[in-house]
């Protein structure tokens, strides 16, 4: 009987989690973005996604390891970016807020 309860819980969780993870895994998305700026600095941005395929966080870093930031993205109910909060290694923080008109 205990085994049946455990299996039932397993299948319930699999039903809830599995469809979302399949959707996220089957859609193409950017995971890393490498760049070189006009000063010659080289860096990379790593993108993190939820199971619903929403980009909720990025980590930007210089390839020499001298500086990085963790960036948190806040979305509205339609999936639009409404706020980006950044925390840099040198204790600087920043907020960017976004508004959309009726046409988005």
**Torsions phi, psi for 75 (to 5 deg):** -110, 150
Q: How many helices (H) and strands (E) does the chain have?
A: 1, 6
**Residue ranges making up the domain that contains 81:** 29-97
Structural domain total, the chain: 1
Q: 91 lies in a domain?
A: yes
pTM, two decimal places: 0.65
The pLDDT tens digits for 42-97 are 999 999 998 888 899 999 999 999 999 999 999 998 889 999 999 999 999 999 99
| Rg of the chain on CA atoms, in Å | 19
**Is residue 1 included in any domain, yes or no?**
no
Domain assignment present for residue 14? The answer is no
Tell whether 80 is covered by a domain.
yes
């Amino acid at each position: 009987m205990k085994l049946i309860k455990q299996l039932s819980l397993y299948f319930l969780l699999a039903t809830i989690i599995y469809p979302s993870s399949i959707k996220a895994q089957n859609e193409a998305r950017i995971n890393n973005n490498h760049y070189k700026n006009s000063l010659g600095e080289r860096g990379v941005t790593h993108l993190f996604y939820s199971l619903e395929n929403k980009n909720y966080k990025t980590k930007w870093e210089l390839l020499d390891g001298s500086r990085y930031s963790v960036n948190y993205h806040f979305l509205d109910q339609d999936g639009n970016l409404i706020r980006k909060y950044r925390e840099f290694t040198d204790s600087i923080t920043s907020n960017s807020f976004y508004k959309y008109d009726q046409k988005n």
